[in-house]
Amino acid sequence: MALPIEEIPVRDLPRRLREPLRTGAEEHFGPTDPKVDISRLPLLGRAMKSRTFQFFLILPNQLIFWLVIVTGLFGALLPTHNFSTVITWYIWFCAVFLLMVGVGRGWCAMCPFGGLGEWTQRRTFWGRRSVSIGLGLRWPRALGRWAILPSVGMFLALTWFEEFFNIAGPGDPRFTSLLVFMVIGTALITFLLFERRTFCRYLCPLTALIGTVGATGMVAGMRTRNRELCLTCPTKDCMRGSERGYPCPWFEWPGSATSNLMCGLCTECVKNCPYDNVGLFLQAPLTSVIAPMRRRVDIAWAATILFSLVLFQQLNALPAYGALDDWLNQATHFPGYPNPIDFVGIIAATTAMFAAVVWGLRSIFTDRSSSSEAPGRGRFASFNHWFAALGYGLIPLMAADYLARQLPRFLLHAPRIVAAISDPFGFGWNLFGTAHSPLYDFHLAAGQGLVAAQLLVTGLGMLGAAYATWRIAGRDLGGLTSRATLLRAASVLVVVTFGVGVAALYVAMGGAE
């Protein structure tokens, strides 16, 4: 006996009958919706709907990082010749920051760490299986309140570990292999304990960095072509999954997206949507910094702490820091650099400085009388609201600072990959005839040219931060004060001051790695 049409699941209906349950609701989040849908390009559109698409994005990096592990563990202990250290510290770390700035979570779409965990969890490289292995636990709600901040803690710990063992010096190649293997192992364990990409959303050491830095990027992520159609969809296959694809591994819904913060570009929502209503959109740079309808305070704290970390890495290249660290090591009997006290202390002090500046601006410019008269104004005038707004404004400068900090290794040593490819283990091989290439000693930039490149990147980041802060302060904070223009100018002055300080440190460092 045939079912009445209203009882047939939407995914089983002919496309012409797949109408939404309600129509006519007002447009949602229209001002933030990007307009350029590159998945309309026939070749890309077909690829994104293929179940093999992400597998072939991940596979090359999967092979490279297992080669990193093997060459680091069994190759010669020559860090400037070993493929493991050359590709990881001279090329990958800089390239991934360029990818963040330009594409957002582009690295997440091809990440070998999450890829291996997901393949294991699903028991397939690309097929759609109804049953996954593992416990499938949910991330604890108590930890969920911290949102992206556990990732910040993981990145801080990993950075201290790297500094202490001089892994990115580059030092002993075996440490690079062990570091990569530790991240892969942690990811695999988490995938077997928790559901979907819990590791990628909450614990990956890079997810907070990619989510914040990636907000400057031009890829808006997966968005709905017709938001009303998405809002009224009765099945929400993008979130729940279907026979065509898995539920969103990142726990995101295209129908409410106003930034590229947590879209891992996995394309499962594209495969799942019964209306062909999800596409991959481009946006103007800084849109996900300026335009989100809901600004998250955890993102602002993450951006500030991560900015404080890269400032620490600039300070530790100065002679004065060495004297401080040596003194602390003697006083605390700590065996090496960096001493945890100055590592944590400098990061905490810089973060507290920015928070104090935000508190001061809030105290000076908030109109207490007007905030008490207007409904809801008191809530919007909270410190968290101010900190979230101005913390987002800091993101472009933080992104530029991280990129500038990676430039010395890349510009001085990236050509060494030509020799390392021919002799990946450092055993004296010459597989492709390039082991003795003169590019080994070639510098893309050096000396004052290197400093100039760092200042150029920092300057662009400072301009981006100033522009973003001006826009954000006007939209998010301007209604809280009768001196909106003065507030915007003062907010911009704050990020420009930090930017000048960053630039001054690069001059003082003189291109130090």
CA nearest 478: which of 391, 406, 380, 397? 380
For 222, the enclosing helix (H) or strand (E) is strand 219-224
CA nearest 263: which of 298, 215, 330, 335? 215
Asked if residue 337 and residue 198 are part of one domain, the reply reads: no
The predicted pLDDT at position 27 comes to: 43
Alpha carbon separation from 117 to 210, 232, 264 (Å, rounded) = 19, 34, 15
Domain boundary among 271, 294, 317: 294
The predicted pLDDT at position 368 comes to: 67
Asked if residue 93 and residue 76 are part of one domain, the reply reads: yes
Does any domain span residue 12?
no
Does any domain span residue 309?
yes
Asked if residue 190 and residue 84 are part of one domain, the reply reads: yes
Does any domain span residue 418?
yes
Does any domain span residue 8?
no
For 280, the enclosing helix (H) or strand (E) is strand 278-282
Asked if residue 415 and residue 278 are part of one domain, the reply reads: no
What 3-state class would DSSP assign to 397?
helix
Asked if residue 213 and residue 151 are part of one domain, the reply reads: yes
Asked if residue 344 and residue 393 are part of one domain, the reply reads: yes
Q: Locate 224 and state its tokens.
A: 């709905």
Does any domain span residue 340?
yes
Asked if residue 45 and residue 118 are part of one domain, the reply reads: yes
Overall pTM > 0.95: no
The predicted pLDDT at position 353 comes to: 97
Q: Which residues of 139-153 are buried (b: 16+ CB within 10 A; e: fewer)?
A: beeeeeeebbbbbbe
What 3-state class would DSSP assign to 48?
helix
Distance of CA 92 to the CA centre of its chain: 15
CA nearest 46: which of 274, 275, 271? 271
Does any domain span residue 10?
no
d(CA 33, CA 220): 9
Asked if residue 312 and residue 199 are part of one domain, the reply reads: no
Q: Locate 272 and state its tokens.
A: 């799942």
Domain boundary among 294, 326, 358: 294
d(CA 348, CA 301): 11
Does any domain span residue 126?
yes
The predicted pLDDT at position 87 comes to: 96
Per-residue pLDDT of the chain (513 residues; tens, 9 = 90+): 444 544 544 445 454 444 444 443 344 445 567 889 999 999 999 999 999 999 999 999 999 999 999 999 999 999 999 999 999 999 998 999 899 988 899 999 999 999 999 999 999 999 999 888 999 999 999 999 999 999 999 999 999 999 999 999 889 999 999 999 999 999 999 999 999 999 999 999 999 999 999 999 999 999 998 888 888 888 899 999 999 999 999 999 988 888 999 999 999 999 999 999 999 999 999 999 998 888 999 999 999 999 999 999 999 999 899 999 999 999 999 998 999 999 999 999 999 999 999 999 999 998 765 444 443 344 457 899 999 999 999 999 999 999 999 999 999 999 999 999 999 999 999 999 999 999 999 999 999 999 999 999 999 999 999 999 999 999 999 988 889 999 999 999 999 999 999 999 999 999 888
Domain boundary among 274, 294, 314: 294
Q: Which domain holds residue 261?
A: 30-294
The predicted pLDDT at position 255 comes to: 84
Task: Provide the 8-state DSSP code for 357.
Answer: H
Asked if residue 401 and residue 284 are part of one domain, the reply reads: no
The predicted pLDDT at position 372 comes to: 42
The tally of domains found in the chain comes to 2
Asked if residue 403 and residue 255 are part of one domain, the reply reads: no
The predicted pLDDT at position 12 comes to: 53
The predicted pLDDT at position 32 comes to: 61
Q: Locate 379 and state its tokens.
A: 């809530």
Strand partners, 219: 282
What 3-state class would DSSP assign to 147?
coil
Does any domain span residue 496?
yes
For helices 448-472 and 383-393, give the axis angle rounded to 10 degrees: 140
Asked if residue 122 and residue 270 are part of one domain, the reply reads: yes
d(CA 242, CA 430): 50
What 3-state class would DSSP assign to 166?
coil
What 3-state class would DSSP assign to 232?
coil
Asked if residue 187 and residue 283 are part of one domain, the reply reads: yes
Q: Are strands 278-282 and 36-37 parallel, antiparallel or unpaired?
A: antiparallel
Q: Which residues of 396-416 are buried (b: 16+ CB within 10 A; e: fewer)?
A: bbbbbbbbbbbbbbbbbbbbb
The predicted pLDDT at position 30 comes to: 55
